[in-house]
Amino acid sequence: MEKRDIAKITLQLEGLSCASCARGVEKALQQTDGVVKAQVNFALSRADIEFNPAKIEQEQLGAIVRSAGYGVKEQREKIILKIGGMNCASCAAAVEQSLKQVSGVYDARVNIAAEQGTVEYDPTILTRDDLKKIVIETGYQVVGFAGEQRSGISEEQDLKKVDAARRKMWGSWLFTIPIILWMIPEMFFGIAWPNMIIFDLGMIVLAIPPLFIYGQKTFVTAYQAVRHGRANMDLLIAIGTGVAFLTGPAVFWTPIANYTGVAAMIMAFHLTGRYIEAMARGRASQAIKKLLELGAKTAVILVDGQEEEIAIDRLQTGDIMLIRPGEKIPTDGKIIEGSTTVDQSMATGESMPVRKGINDLVIGATINQHGLIKVEATKVGRDTFLAQVIRMVEEAQGSKVPIQEFADRITGVFVPTVLIIALATFILWLIFPEFFRSIGNWAQVYLPWVNPELGPITLAIFATVAVLVIACPCALGLATPTALMVGSGLGAENGVLIRKGEAIQTMKDVHTIVFDKTGTITKGQPEVTDLSPGKSFTEEGLLQLAASVESGSEHPFGTAIVKAARERGIEVKRLEDFLALTGRGVKARVEGAEVLLGSRRLIGEHGISYADRQEQIQRLEGEGKTVILVVVDRKLAGIIAVADALKEDSREAIRELKDLGLKTAMITGDNQRTAQAIAGQVGIEQVVAEVLPDGKVAEIIKLQERLGTIAMVGDGINDAPALAQANVGIAIGTGTDIAIESSDITLVRGELSAVVTAVKLSRATFRKIKQNLFWAFFYNLGAIPLAIMGLLHPVIAEIAMAISSISVVTNANLLRRAAIKPHYLK
């Protein structure tokens, strides 16, 4: 066997517990026909396999491992391909189908408006080049991958596309307008000037440039589609205009009408529609372009104390950047010297500047307003906040809403079906000419272009060409992607990052929005409000013990206690045997004493009584404060109350959500009384309290069973499992700390008003999608019967198709009103 016949693959294994397990898997693989070599590494839980693809497929190797009693870890990667050469929804459907059929591709979604495909695949089976090859073999090109440094190139390419479309449009009309003027006397007065032969020859000569020079790509793309066994919109136009053009030469030896001029008009309107689509796609993808333009092009760094200006792509983690007032911050980093205010509106949508000082994090592409600062670069390139945002917007624009899948199924069979209908129309007109002629006799009173006196072949061609032209699925393919692109782009401009298109449709069914308390409704920055020591302790002594134990904790309440001690100048003592008791409290030894801090539940579990403090505890909890009991050597040493202030806009946001017809609920690990007090302050109706972190998912499931479709808003880190369980997970990010993997929607700024914006934007976007699909189906399907009966002029059919594309794009772009008139989203 030659070396090139051998393929290699690496499988990540699960369930290996010893070297014998590894040996068993290795033996099973080596005994399989087609496997040349197999080595299993127990330490790495990995199998390196060389095999002959002619004898055994990659999927079978995984099956062999599973049959041996072990698992194969599924490896998934997501990539966004920039695809060139697609002209209609059928093209997108063809590329999508080709990718989905390949072994190793889990999912593929192609967006015609964005001209990109999002592919989820197994990197152990496929590479980038493999995916690129699949697209090329389908008849299209891969012009790049998302995330590459391409802002200037991409913009230049878009401008070239629009310019090329504009030239083709005006070039075709340069010859089509004389055709129209020359046809008017013949159409209305029956005068073929100067005579019929010159008129027919003139129509043929003038039609050649619009069809075969400016419209050449339409015929080339149609040919490529047929060569690859597909049918697309260009094929319909090519057949329709081609047949109409052939009537010109045919008129000299057969009794048939000359539709050559009509063919030129159809192509001119078709190219006009293409020009409008090119401009519309450019507008729809403005969000990505705007985000790319936000980034700084250069950075000034300090090298051995000297300033040096470098290109942004040369910036490395750890470089010290010098940023003067008014300059863009080149990349994400931490201030190490100086203080300033930063305009973060590009990231959060919030116009108010934010004060920053030493050790504060700053976001790349935001504006340093007043101070001279030195910033250490912490993230560069693809890891920056801006790169994450661009990646999320691109993913959202490449995703699909469930309602689109129905349209895609229709689009996938639409063109072949239309070809069958067109052929049937031609045959039926030849078999039953008198039946159709009778319809024409009735309609000619109302429709001036209907002439039943023409010959049956002429009428059959007239109706067939009209069917081919009116049924182009252009509007159907643009309906959902354009609205989704505009909506997701508008969201990015307002600090709402829609990761998954499905969330837009799901949001319309959401009945209740569930909020986490700490850091979502409240600021997440609690402060100590009350100290109530027992008889043997002072306030300072109680706070010292509590702060000593909490110094080992990362919980916000623990941080608040440590902060309070330091503000009073109290020394934190050394602790031992620290133990965090998830959702209940902490335990440690301080100078030999066993100290326990936590909730009433934790103290009760240890059998320690706090009956004499019950009234005080209830009063504090009624004020919305969280009570922490401090126990030393199994005796209650005192009580510490901690309160977390509400976010300024929490009450207003909850009220607005209610105005939108939504119910609200809160889920928290806090006790019932404190939770009810906080909920009462903001106007939340339902409260689920005393929930441990690992119990949130179960509570979300219960709420779903009781209330139906719900959305959950949380910080995206601690609440990740619950966010994933909710029908729509909304993660609140703060600055560079954005947890995106578990959420469907990420809010860049921490205010709850962003939740209201997300709800309104999702509803408005889905409303546009529904409207677009309605109009697309109306244009495409509603007019076909008219075309079959010969009541629709082919030129009017092409005008209708151009209008349909314009209407869905214009309707989608109406969402942009929200940028200047926020009430439009209501």
Closest C-alpha to 527, from 647, 620, 644: 644
Q: Do the Cβ atoms of 546 and 597 come closer than 8 Å? A: yes
Q: Can you give 307-347 as a three-state secondary structure string? A: EEEEEHHHCCCCCEEEECCCCECCCCEEEEECCEEEECHHH
How far apart are alpha carbons 238 and 242 in whole angstroms? 6
Question: In which order are the strands placed within the sheet that holds 512-516?
Answer: 496-498, 745-747, 728-732, 710-714, 512-516, 663-667, 686-688
- Decide: residue 334, CB within 10 A, 0-12 exposed, 13-18 middle, 19+ buried: middle
- CA distances 609 to 10, 517, 604, 613, 632, Å, are 59, 28, 7, 9, 13
Q: Are strands 593-598 and 626-632 parallel, antiparallel or unpaired?
A: antiparallel
Query: What are residue 635's phi and psi, to 5 degrees?
Result: -125, 140
> Which residues neighbour 186 within 8 Å (Cβ) at sequence distance 6 or greater?
192, 193, 199
- CA distances 720 to 86, 713, 731, 745, Å, are 38, 10, 8, 13
What are 780's two structure tokens?
């495409």
Query: What are residue 73's phi and psi, to 5 degrees?
Result: -70, 125
> Which residues neighbour 672 within 8 Å (Cβ) at sequence distance 6 or greater?
687, 689, 690
Other Cβ atoms less than 10 A from the Cβ of 36: the count is: 15
CA of residue 531 relative to chain centroid, distance: 49
How far apart are alpha carbons 626 and 601 in whole angstroms? 13
Tell me what percent of the chain is helix, strand and coil, each rounded to the nearest 5.
Answer: 50, 20, 30
Other Cβ atoms less than 10 A from the Cβ of 740: the count is: 18
Max CA pair span of the chain: 119
CA of residue 249 relative to chain centroid, distance: 52
How far apart are alpha carbons 621 and 529 in whole angstroms? 12
**Does residue 516 have an active-site annotation?**
yes
Q: 234, 332, 516, 644: which one is catalytic?
A: 516
How far apart are alpha carbons 338 and 358 in whole angstroms? 6
How large is the C-alpha radius of gyration of the chain?
34
Query: DSSP secondary-structure letter at 149?
Result: S
Query: DSSP secondary-structure letter at 570?
Result: P
Q: Do the Cβ atoms of 825 and 804 come closer than 8 Å? A: no
Q: Are strands 686-688 and 663-667 parallel, antiparallel or unpaired?
A: parallel
State the number of CA atoms in the 13 A half-sphere of 676 facing the CB: 8
Q: Are strands 77-84 and 71-72 parallel, antiparallel or unpaired?
A: unpaired
How far apart are alpha carbons 689 and 667 in whole angstroms? 6
How far apart are alpha carbons 199 and 205 in whole angstroms? 10
Whether the bond into 194 is cis, omega within 30 of 0: yes
Query: What are residue 527's phi and psi, to 5 degrees?
Result: -130, 150
Can you tell me which residue has the tokens 């976001």? 363
Closest C-alpha to 629, from 646, 642, 647: 642
Enumerate the active-site residues: 516
